[in-house]
Amino acid sequence: MKESWRWYGPFDNIALWEVAQTGASGIVTALHEVPYGEVWTREAIAARKAEIAAAGLDWVMVESLPVHERIKRGDGDLSGLFANYRQSMANLAAEGVTGICYNFMPLIDWTRTDLKAPAKSGGTCLRFDAARMAAFELHMLGRAEAEADYPAEVVVRAGQWHAASTEADRAALLSAIMSGLPGAFERYDIEGLREALTLYHGVGAEELRGNYKRFLEEVVPAAEDLGVRLCVHPDDPPRDILGLPRVVSDAEDIAWVLGVVESPANGLTLCSGSLGANPANDLPAIARRFADRIHFAHLRNVAKEPDGSFEEAPHLDGDTDMVDLVRALVEEEARRRSAGRADAEIVMRPDHGHELLADSERNNPPGYPLIGRLRGLAELRGVARALSAPYAMAV
């Protein structure tokens, strides 16, 4: 697999020379400074690519080229936004960057309630606590209908947490939830979030799928012509949040996405942590089912709890059989090489790591520490190398 590293460009305090020392050869990044919906100019892309190349690294995947919220809502005349998206793809392709990860999650990207939950072996990790999320929805946001979205005992604990919480506790919870938008320009306070949610009134799962289908129909043919591979990132967590529908949460959702516009350019980012938070998802089985359309892999693990809570686990621990998942990807790479495919190598990056050792002294984006991800990359590299050995492939 092509080992890569997510880097936030001018917003990242991890330097490219440090990334080079991890052993990763590829960079996954975006022009986070460009507002959503605007064109990424060829000049800006070339400058970022040159900066990466100067460190001896390659820009191997865009993460992400954001889909504007108006497209997700199907709001008004979208021709200009679709044209801008296609132009950004064309400019990326002209500079040799042909892999584009994106998501179709309404309003909020990945959602966590704790950014520094204590990990069992020391350090800290990201956590989604069902009771605190319910407290946020019910008691801070005032979304009474959210009571139906949580088990009764979670609703009780949510009320207890809120009653005992301080203003600082509630501010920290809001900040954690908003931190799922590391490259976004908008941050919401409670009133701002309520107002933003009203824009999605009337947009249920069926409507969102219709808007998603339109997006794919508008951009996938252009991607085909450009030699670009689009790959959707699954919902994180894979469940409805804040009353907003999510439509890339399980195997059947993925089958719909890949089938609604049938094309190699319409692919999947296999995020084992996002999909792994759904108890119904079998990650190795999903990888094998959609193997030929996987263009990018985010490898991380989660430990789930019966009430819907989960937290980031070490990469080789947690609930997903990471060895079998990597085996599925290695097998797919071997099949692609045998078929003579130019895209035989799957781009992989270690996803959310624990904050370990000196990571706590650096102001890293949540989930993206240096040492914690380095540990994950080293573990995943060892698994992949072992499974790629001639004797292993013959078994």
> 317 and 172, same structural domain?
no
pLDDT of the chain, 395 residues: tens digit per residue: 999 999 999 889 999 999 999 999 999 999 999 999 999 999 999 999 999 999 999 999 999 999 999 999 999 999 999 999 999 999 999 999 999 999 999 998 899 999 999 998 899 999 999 999 999 999 999 999 999 999 999 999 999 999 999 999 999 999 999 987 655 556 789 999 999 999 999 999 999 999 999 999 999 999 999 999 999 999 999 999 999 999 999 999 999 999 999 999 999 999 999 999 999 999 999 999 999 999 999 999 999 999 999 999 999 999 999 999 999 999 999 999 999 998 899 999 999 999 999 999 998 899 999 999 999 999 999 999 999 977 555 54
> 35 and 58, same structural domain?
yes
Number of domains in the chain: 2
> 368 and 225, same structural domain?
yes
Q: Look up the domain containing 308 and give its range.
A: 2-110+198-394
Out of 172, 189, 206, pick the residue that ends a domain: 189
Q: What is the pLDDT of residue 179?
A: 87
Q: What is the pLDDT of residue 187?
A: 75
> 75 and 28, same structural domain?
yes
> 281 and 387, same structural domain?
yes
Out of 189, 209, 236, pick the residue that ends a domain: 189
Q: What is the pLDDT of residue 263?
A: 97
In this structure, are residues 229 and 295 in contact, taking their beta carbons and an 8 Å threshold?
yes
In this structure, are residues 365 and 12 in contact, taking their beta carbons and an 8 Å threshold?
yes
Out of 189, 207, 233, pick the residue that ends a domain: 189
Task: State the amino acid at position 42 in one-letter form.
Answer: R
CA angle, 128 as apex, 124 and 129 as ends, to 5°?
105
> 35 and 155, same structural domain?
no
Which H helix or E strand runs over 198? helix 190-198
Q: What is the pLDDT of residue 299?
A: 98
> 60 and 183, same structural domain?
no
Q: Which two tokens stand for residue 383?
A: 């698994």
> 202 and 183, same structural domain?
no
CATH number at residue 340: 3.20.20.150
Residues 6 or more apart from 134 whose CB is under 8 A from it? Answer: 146, 149, 150, 154, 155, 157, 158
The rounded distance, in Å, linking the Cα atoms of 243 and 169 is 23
> 148 and 50, same structural domain?
no
> 311 and 166, same structural domain?
no
Q: What is the pLDDT of residue 393?
A: 55
Q: Which two tokens stand for residue 89?
A: 């793809």
Active-site residues: which are they? 233, 271, 298, 351-352, 368
> 318 and 173, same structural domain?
no
Q: What is the pLDDT of residue 180?
A: 75
> 230 and 106, same structural domain?
yes
Q: What is the pTM of this model?
A: 0.94
Q: What is the pLDDT of residue 394?
A: 52
